[in-house]
Structures are given as structure tokens and as C-alpha cells.
Amino acid sequence: MTGLPERGAVRDEQLLIQENAGIITENGLIRETGTHEELLEKARQENVEINLLEREYVVLPGFIDSHTHICFGGSRARDYAMRNAGKSYLEIARAGGGIWDTVTKTREASEEELAKLTARRANELLQRGITTAEVKSGYGLSVNQELKMLRAIRTAAENTACTLVPTCLAAHMVPRDYDGTPEEYLREIIDHLFPVIKSEGLARRVDAFIEESAFTSENIQPYFKRAAEMGFDITVHADQFHTGGSEVAVEFRAVSADHLEASGEQEISMLAGSDTIATALPGASVGLGMAFTPARQILDEGGVVAIASDWNPGSAPMGDLLTQASLLGTFGKLSNAEVLAGITERAAKALRLEKAGRLEAGYMADMVLFETSDFNDILYRQGQLKPAMVIKKGKKVYSIHDV
């Protein structure tokens, strides 16, 4: 995934494919890539550990899932069945479902339980080839409960080989049990949560859901302004059902604007002309039965598109990034190069990871291996060709042949 355009469309012919390749890693980083014969001879001369692969593999950078909600308690399987049976969001909520159901279950779980659940889901991602995953809070919706979630994410990161990037999503919705206005709730988060996050180093990213059921483009302004002043990176749940969020994302120079299913021509042009990464979440489109992010149009206008799973218990329960990215490629008419870039190099940009997403000297030695001789098979099989091996920081952490 080296040498690709920084922005816009990517043709399959622009992919650099190294046949009969070798990789030397050192201290968790890629030291050198090249032909197998040259690097094998060099390794023998240096008397280093050599791992020879007996089968044919395609090796890619480890996948990066730049938007997940894998820290949660409970399940929303009943919501899914009710939604497919024709119930509306409000009807599901009145029946005790919806996001507040997850908030309740997450609040009931202990910090230790949440850490174990998060680490277990991160290990599932690892087996799917994802070596780095962003993880949001946002099901606590109070200062103490959000801190519990972020601390659980920190503990989970110590118990999985998958790199976890925490994000504070305290502005997910106005909690039902909050006795005050949305503006007062956000002020409480600013005054009492942000300083603790900073002092404990719990997250460097802040997110908010801008939508009619959550926060408006107006009342979120002080929240993002203070977050920027404190040095947080900003990302936005934007344009999922209604527009407005992407404009805020561009205004605050957010690292990414995620969802964008409702984005129209104006929003597409605005995003494409900015430095904000447009993150498509096809799992939410599949889970809700709605339109996909207009990724093709954003790319054609010169924007940058990342692709993430949005794994969450409500709208995107699948959590299978490769399958979802494959479907987006099919319905959105994206090249294989654009899809693969969206879950590697361009996803790294959505998390501001400088040395991830490529097989290049100096980058993290994170790799996913597929047992095939043609990289096109990976997306052609639409997620059914599973990773045969996963390498994290130069060490094998998963292999189907060890199971």
C-alpha cells in the first residue's frame, strides 16, 4: 500500500505488488522489504530468526478498523428482530430497546467485566486481520460511567495484541436520566470529564453524534471548541440520517467525519475539499437496511475515504470489516485498491497513525496473510476467505494452522 495517491480515486494498477517477496522485521518494525532470495541471504548472513512460509500467501498491512463501539454490555438482538419486522426506532425504544438499553446494561457491568468483554471482541477482530481498532466510550453517559468505560478500554488494551485507540464519545446522546438541558450536560462533561481524561491519559480523541435524536450543530459548538483548546483530536458522527454534522466536522477541522449516508452534493464537495477523512460505515447500512455512504462520489471529487465496521450492539452488530468493505465496494463501485486502502493506509490517517497501514521500512510490522496467490481473491470472496495468519509487531499472534 505504498506510493498511492494521497487523495481521491485509486486504480488497481497503482497498487505496488511485490512478487516472491521477503520482509525483515526488527523491534516490532519493518526494517526492509524486497525479493525473497536477497533478503533470505541477508538474514542468513546476520544469523537472525528465519520464518519460511511453505504455502502461497498474499501479505497485506494489518487492517485498521477506525470506528468501533466494542466496549458495551448486553445485547440488542431483540431490537434487530423488531426492526426487521417493521417496528420504528421510537416503537423499539418504547418497548425497552434502543441505545438506552445498551446504556443500562453497560452501566450495570463492572469495569472488570467491560474490560474482559472488550478484550474478547478485540481478539475476535485480531483473528479477522485487524491489528488496530479504535474503541469508543458513549454507553456510560455520565462522568463516572464514561470514566469506567475508558478505564476498561485501557485495561482491555493490556490484554490483547490488537492495538486499541480509545475515543471519548460522552456526547453520544443526552442521557434520559439527566435532569437538565443538553447544553448543561455538555458543560458537565467539559468541566468534569475532560480534565480527568487528560490527567489519566485515557484518550486523545473526542467524538459527538450530531443528529436530531442527539446533539445539534449549534449546541455542540462549545463542546468541540473546548476539546480543541485542550488538544483533543476531533471526530464526528455526521450525516447519518440528516445533514449538518459534516459541516461541523469541516469547521472544526475534525480528523474524520463518520457515517455520511445522508450526505448530498454540497456535503460531498465540502468534505472532498477539506482535510477531514470521510469514513464509510457499511456495517450500519447493512444493519439498518439503508443507503451506503457516497464513497464513489467523495473519491471522484478528490476526498479521502476510510472504511470501518462501526461494530456496535444496535445498528451494526456484524463487526466483520472485510465483509462489509467488500459489500461497499460492490454497491459503491469502488476499485479493490480503494477498498484495501480504506482499511489500511487511509484508515491509519483517520486515526492519525503515522507508521501504520503500509508494508514499508520504518512502519509497524503488522501484517495479515491470506492463503491465495491473487490479492483479488480477498474481496472477491466477500469476507469468506479468512486470514490464514496475523502478525503483530513482527510476531505471529494467530494462525489457522495452529487452531
pLDDT tens string, the chain, 403 residues long: the values are 999 999 999 999 999 999 999 999 999 999 999 999 999 999 999 988 999 998 999 999 999 999 999 999 999 999 999 989 999 876 887 788 888 999 999 999 999 999 999 999 999 999 999 999 999 999 999 999 999 999 999 999 999 999 999 999 999 999 999 999 999 999 999 999 999 999 999 999 999 999 988 999 999 999 999 999 999 999 999 999 999 999 999 999 999 999 999 999 999 999 999 999 999 999 999 999 999 999 999 999 999 999 999 999 999 999 999 999 999 999 999 999 999 999 999 999 999 999 999 999 999 999 999 999 999 999 999 999 999 999 999 999 999 988 6
> In the Cβ-directed half-sphere of 229, how many Cα atoms lie within 13 Å?
10
Nearest 5°: the CA angle 288, 216, 198 is 95
284, with CB counted inside 10 A (0-12, 13-18, 19+), is: buried
**3-state SS, residue 350:** helix
The b/e string for 58-70 (b: 16+ C-beta within 10 A; e otherwise) is bbbbbbbbbbbbb
CA distance 342 to 169: 23
CB 108 within 8 Å of CB 299: no
CA distance 177 to 399: 46
Superfamily of domain 12-61+359-399: Urease, subunit C, domain 1 (2.30.40.10)
CA distance 298 to 278: 8
CA distance 167 to 202: 8
- Indicate the domain borders of the chain: 12-61+359-399, 63-350
In sequence order, which ranges of 236-275 are alpha helices (DSSP H)? 245-251, 265-272
CA distance 240 to 211: 8
Q: What is the DSSP letter of 12?
A: G
Superfamily of domain 63-350: Metal-dependent hydrolases (3.20.20.140)
CB 248 within 8 Å of CB 210: yes
Q: Taking the C-alpha atoms of 71, 72, 75 and 80 in order, what is their torsion angle to the nearest 10 degrees?
A: -70
